[in-house]
Amino acid sequence: MMKRAADVVREAEVFVVTAGAGMGVDSGLPDFRGDRGFWHAYPAYARLGLTFTDCANPQHFSDDPALGWGFYGHRTNLYRDTVPHEGFQIIKKWLTRKGAEYFVVTSNVDGQFQKAGYADDRILEVHGSIHWLQCQTPCSRTVWGNNEAFRIDAATMRARQPLPRCPECGEVSRPNILMFGDWSWLPDRARMQENAFDRFLRAHGDRRIAVIELGAGSAIPTIRATSERIGWHLEQATVIRINPREPEIKEPHISLTCGALEGLQAIDALLE
Ligand SMILES: NC(=O)c1ccc[n+]([C@@H]2O[C@H](COP(=O)([O-])OP(=O)(O)OC[C@H]3O[C@@H](n4cnc5c(N)ncnc54)[C@H](O)[C@@H]3O)[C@@H](O)[C@H]2O)c1
Ligand SMILES: [Zn+2]
C-alpha cells in the first residue's frame, strides 16, 4: 500500500489535500472524536456535562457570551500557539519540487495550512475559520480578522471581559465558523473559496490528481465525501486516505492505517 501511495505521489501532476481534525493531532491539537475524546481534551466540559455539540452552539453568544467565547477564545489561543508538524512541510516539498498545482480543502477552522505557508487563495475552509469574526446578529455581511486577545478561566472555561464586539452595532461578535443549528453563519468567505476550488477542478480535473486525505473523520463526513467525489468522478484521480482508526476506502483508492505525520514520512522516504 505504502509503495502504491508513493507511486501515486510520484506520478501526480496535481494535488488536492483534504484534511480533518486528525491532521492537527501530530501538532499536538485534539480531535473531537466522540464525547470521550472531547472531554479528554477539555476536562472542564466533562465536569459541566457539555459535549462538543453543546459548546459549538451559536446561541451562547447571545445567551451567555462568556461561555461561548470561553470555548472559541481558548481554541483561538491554542491554534495561534501551535506549530504545524513536519507533515505540512513534506507535502509542500512535493508541490514545490514538481511545481505542481494544488488546493487544500479542510473542515479545520484552525488556520494551520496558512500558518505552514500554503497560499491563502489555494485553501477552502468549508466550516470557516476561527481567525475571522462576524457579528452574532449579524447586522451586516462583513467579516473581519480576529486580532482579539482572550483570557479564559481554565476551571470554568469562561472568557474574561472585555469580549470582542461588532464594530458596527456593538453586539458581542462570534467566530465566522459554521456551528450546530447555525442560521447566522455568514458563508460568503467560504463560498468565495469554494468557487476558486470549483474553478481549480474545472481547469485541472482531467490531469493525474493525487488526493491526499489526512485525519478526516466519519462522524461529520464532509471531507471524506469531498475526497470520494473527486476519486470516483475524475478518471485520473486517486485518493490516499491516511487515518489510524478509520482508513477504509474502496480500491483502487489507497488506505493507509497510520497517523498523518507517520504516513507522509513513510511515503516521502520511498520517494528519495
Ligand atoms: N483543528 C480544528 O480546526 C478542529 C478540531 C476539532 C474539530 N473541528 C471541527 O469539528 C468537526 C470534526 O470533524 P473531523 O472529521 O475533522 O474530526 P473528528 O474529530 O471527528 O475525527 C478525527 C479523525 O482523525 C483521525 N486521527 C486521529 N489521530 C490522527 C493522526 N495522528 N493522524 C491522522 N488522523 C488521525 C481519527 O481517526 C478520526 O477519523 C469538523 O467539522 C471541524 O470543523 C475542528
Ligand atoms: Zn453587528
Nearest-atom number in ligand 1 for the CA of 33 is 19
Other CB atoms within a 10 A radius of the CB of residue 238 amount to 22
Cα dihedral value 33, 37, 39, 41, nearest 10: -100
Give residue 143 CA to ligand 2 midpoint distance, Å. Answer: 10
The amino acid at residue 193 is Q
First-to-last alpha carbon distance for the chain, in angstroms, is: 17
pLDDT at position 36 is 81
Nearest-atom number in ligand 1 for the CA of 20 is 16
Q: In CATH terms, is domain 2-271 a member of 3.40.50.1220?
A: yes
pLDDT at position 37 is 87
Please give all residues whose CB falls under 5 A of ion ligand 2, grouped by chain where several chains appear.
135, 139, 166, 168-169, 171
264: its cell numbers: 507522509
- Pocket of ligand 1 from Cβ distances under 6 Å: 20-22, 24-26, 29, 31-33, 107-110, 127, 214-217, 219-220, 242-246, 259-260
Other CB atoms within a 10 A radius of the CB of residue 98 amount to 15
- DSSP H helical ranges for the chain: 2-11, 22-25, 34-41, 43-48, 52-55, 60-63, 65-81, 86-98, 112-115, 188-204, 222-233, 260-271
Q: Give the pLDDT of the chain (272 residues) as one tens digit per residue.
A: 999 999 999 999 999 999 999 999 999 999 988 778 899 999 999 999 999 999 999 999 999 999 999 999 999 999 999 999 999 999 999 999 999 999 999 999 999 999 999 999 999 999 999 999 999 999 999 999 999 999 999 999 999 999 999 999 999 999 999 999 999 999 999 999 999 999 999 999 999 999 999 999 999 999 999 999 999 999 999 999 999 999 999 999 999 999 999 999 999 999 98
Give residue 18 CA to ligand 1 midpoint distance, Å. Answer: 12
Burial of 121 (0-12, 13-18, 19+ CB in 10 A): exposed
